[in-house]
Each structure stands twice: as C-alpha cells, then as structure tokens.
C-alpha cells in the first residue's frame, strides 16, 4: 500500500461520537479523500484486544467487556487515520502499534479544549509543553510504519505558532492540521485564517486548514475559498459534515432525508449501537428536531425503531436476521469440539467453554476438583495446567494435560483459576462423550 498523502485532500475531521464507522464510510461515499476516527484515548486502547469480526466483516478492538472501542473495515483501510489522545510517548507508541496494520495513518490530538482531555494532559494541554510534543511525535514517527500527523489549535502570539510549527515539522510528521481558533474560543468565534496562512507559508509539509464550518464553509464551493484564504494544502471539515455529510459532494448537497437513509444503511450493516445512531441522526436533523420525526427519534430505543421513522424497517429486519443467522452458525461451530494433532504427537481438544462460577453450587462440582478426583479414581497422574496471559488486557487461557492428551477452552478468562476450570471442563466433556460412545462428535483439524 502506498503511503497516505495529505496534499490537496478533503478530510473528515475527528469528532467525538460522530466519527464512528458508519459516518466515516458515508463521508467516503460522498467524496471525502481521508477520514479520521473519533479520538480514542491511548489508556483505553492498550487494554483492548484485536478481533476479526467475520459476521460484520470488520476488525474490532474490544475491551474486557467485549464491547468495541474502535471498529474499522477494509473499505476504509487505505484512507483512515486513527486519532489518539495521549500525554505519554511510550503508551502512545503501544497504542499505535496495535492499530498500524489496520489504518493508513496515526494522528495525535493536540487541539481538543474540553476538560476530559486537557485534565489528563492531553489535547490542547500539550500546546503548553513543546518538549512533550516533540517526544511523542518523534517516538511515533520512528516507531510505526504509517504516516504520523497531529492536529493543533493556534496560540495567542504569531511567533509562538511559527515556532511550534517548526518544532512539529522537525519531528518528521507527514502533515499538520491547524484549527484556526484559540483553545479558549468556540465555534461562534471567527476562524483566524491569517494564522493558518502564516503557518502554511512557513511549512514544507502539508498544512490542513480546519475550523471553517459555517463561518466560511456552507457549500462544496466554499471549501476552495477557505483553502485559498488559509494558503493550506488541504481542508478538514467538522461541523458542516456533522450536519450534512454530503458537503464533500462537488455536485452539491443531498437533501436531509437522503443523507439520513444512506447513514442508516451503514448503521444497520455494521450493527452500530443505537445510542450512537440516534445521536448522529440528531445532528443531521439539526434545526428540525422539533418536527414529528425529531420527536419519534427521541423516543426510539433501537436501530429498528429509528429505521422505521424513515421507512427502512424491512431493510433493518432483513439485515439483522442475516446477522443473527451468521452468529448462530458461528455459535454452533464454537460448540463443536475441535481436535488438532500437535507437533509433539499429542492431540489438542478445543471447545468454547467459558467458566461461569454461578453454575456450580458447591466446591465439589468445580471442574478442576472433578478432574482431580477422576485421576485419583483411575490411578493416573494428576492433570498439569499450562496457562498463558494475553498481552494488553491480562486475560488468561489454560491448557490441561490429562492422560497424554491436551484440552483447552478457546474462551479467554479474566482470572487464571477460571481459565484452568474452563480447560478442565473441556476435558470432562470429552471424557463424557467418549464414555457415552459419542466418539464422532467433533471435527479433526490438520
């Protein structure tokens, strides 16, 4: 894959709660060249694990509760920039390494003025610490294989902006996005195109102008005007895209109804949480929330109810039924014992068997205790448990060696003891099947 170029591009800005997968795909459909995901905090990402979701055909980074923190797909792979919030170079690198093979670029948020970001030393708080900016960006540029960028807000003095831009460019980043407002300013304040222009004229890397929504940009034709006023290489759009993602269409804006329906299709296709779907549609309705559709949206408690407002309930139902069929087939496959010959000549039996303590009323019923007693009864060596810890989220998987064979649950557990119980339960299930004569239950893998 060719490295992502940030020159002469139209870009969807990173926006909290907006920049999820359905919105990003819609922006690409409508003409955006590059899309940024919503800011993901490095603390949160490093606790995740990467899962290939073959039901949705996505790559999910999920937390310990199995809820996706970040979801992406092949369609956006070559044009997606992952934006992180960070205040620590080493942790930033760990987070970036987790996603670098699934995205086209890494961006560091140095412009968010909100308390949840600045209180952690992230976002706009970094603007006061140029040394830390240099360390974070240098570490990332040297440590990942994809282009690294950052997004900043402007400082009060012009010379400080130029000095910061020189420092950032010297780290080796591929581009820099500049939101033309001070961290104390909000959208109602005019964007400072002159400051962006001064930075752009100084830099040899692409400078991406941001902050023109509504103030200057209200149509596709206005994008070029904003770029020219800032002398920028590219333009990044936030609020106008939030209200109508077809701002990226050179042919002009689509009606609100069309945009909502196009968005809902992606929300359903990728099983977007209904709360996020609801929020994003609210932004498109914008000044029309007082309508009957707006009131119905506020009452909605599922993607299906939201789709029904725009006559898409059948599409939602059919898609969800297909997803459920795929999920049932996957569950059935997980409930089948897999047998695999290992290089040492032993056989590994695998089964999806998560351990749930509430299923065992007394200690004597616990799988490890029952397997221990089985070995005593058969007068064979006691089982041996080999347990590994998964990096990132500290979950465990155990393999038990029993009478020359190996048994393992493919479910990862939060506790080492639970992982051992899960492995023991697989062993007990296989022994029961064999005792019952069900020797053909399972699949042998090469």
| 3-state class (DSSP) for residue 287 | helix
Q: Could you write out the DSSP letters of every residue in 137-177?
A: HHHHHHH-SS-EEEEEE--SSHHHHHHHHHHHHHTT-SEEE
Residues in a beta bridge with 179: 153, 210
Among 344, 348, 365, 347, smallest CA distance to 356 is for 365
Sheet holding 49-53, edge to edge: 49-53, 58-62, 68-72
Among 270, 266, 272, 305, smallest CA distance to 293 is for 305
Q: Which tokens hold the place of 136?
A: 């974070």
Q: Which residues lie below 8 Å from residue 347, measured CB to CB, with a gap of 6+?
A: 339, 340, 341, 405, 406
* Residue 375 annotated among the catalytic residues of the structure: no
> Distance between CA atoms of 138 and 74, rounded to whole angstroms?
28
Among 445, 446, 444, 442, smallest CA distance to 332 is for 442
Work out the number of other CB atoms within 10 angstroms of the CB of residue 71.
Answer: 21
Q: Are 350 and 410 in contact (CB under 8 A)?
A: yes
> Distance between CA atoms of 93 and 71, rounded to whole angstroms?
19
Q: Are 247 and 222 in contact (CB under 8 A)?
A: no
Q: Are 55 and 323 in contact (CB under 8 A)?
A: yes
Of the residues 37, 48, 73, 112, only one is catalytic, namely 112
Catalytic residues: 112
């Amino acid at each position: 894959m060719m490295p992502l170029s940030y020159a002469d591009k139209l870009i969807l800005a990173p926006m909290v709660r907006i920049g999820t997968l359905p919105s990003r795909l819609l922006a690409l459909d409508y003409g955006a060249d590059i899309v940024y995901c919503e800011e993901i905090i490095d603390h949160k990402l490093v606790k995740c694990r990467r899962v290939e979701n073959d039901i949705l055909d996505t790559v999910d980074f999920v937390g310990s509760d199995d809820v996706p923190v970040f979801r992406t797909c092949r369609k956006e792979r070559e044009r997606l920039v992952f934006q992180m919030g960070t205040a620590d170079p080493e942790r930033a690198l760990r987070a970036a390494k987790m996603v670098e093979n699934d995205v086209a670029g890494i961006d560091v948020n140095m412009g968010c003025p909100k308390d949840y970001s600045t209180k952690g030393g992230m976002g706009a708080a970094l603007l006061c610490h140029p040394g830390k900016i240099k360390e974070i960006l240098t570490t990332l540029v040297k440590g990942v294989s994809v282009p690294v960028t950052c997004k900043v807000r402007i400082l009060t003095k012009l010379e400080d902006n130029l000095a910061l831009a020189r420092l950032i460019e010297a780290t080796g980043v591929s581009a820099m996005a500049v939101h033309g407002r001070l961290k104390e300013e909000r959208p109602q304040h005019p964007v400072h195109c002159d400051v962006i222009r001064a930075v752009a004229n100084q830099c040899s890397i692409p400078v991406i102008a941001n902050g023109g929504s509504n103030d200057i940009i209200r149509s596709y034709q206005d994008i070029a005007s904003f770029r020219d006023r800032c002398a920028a290489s590219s333009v990044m759009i936030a609020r106008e895209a939030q209200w109508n993602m077809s701002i990226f269409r050179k042919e002009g804006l689509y009606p609100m109804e069309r945009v909502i329906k196009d968005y809902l299709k992606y929300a359903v296709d990728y099983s977007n949480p209904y709360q996020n779907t609801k929020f994003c549609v609210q932004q498109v309705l914008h000044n029309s929330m007082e309508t009957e559709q707006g009131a119905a949206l506020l009452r909605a408690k599922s993607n299906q109810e939201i789709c029904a407002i725009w006559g898409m309930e059948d599409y939602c139902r059919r898609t969800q039924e297909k997803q459920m069929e795929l999920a049932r087939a996957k569950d059935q496959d997980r409930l089948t014992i897999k047998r695999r010959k290992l290089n040492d000549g032993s056989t590994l039996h695998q089964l999806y068997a998560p351990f749930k303590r509430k299923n065992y009323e007394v200690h004597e019923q616990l799988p490890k205790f029952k397997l221990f007693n089985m070995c005593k009864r058969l007068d064979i060596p006691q089982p041996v448990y080999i347990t590994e810890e998964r990096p990132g989220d500290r979950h465990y998987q155990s393999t038990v060696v029993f009478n020359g064979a190996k048994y393992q649950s493919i479910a990862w557990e939060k506790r080492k003891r639970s992982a051992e119980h899960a492995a023991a339960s697989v062993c007990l299930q296989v022994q029961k099947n064999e005792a019952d004569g069900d020797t053909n239950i399972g699949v042998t893998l090469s």
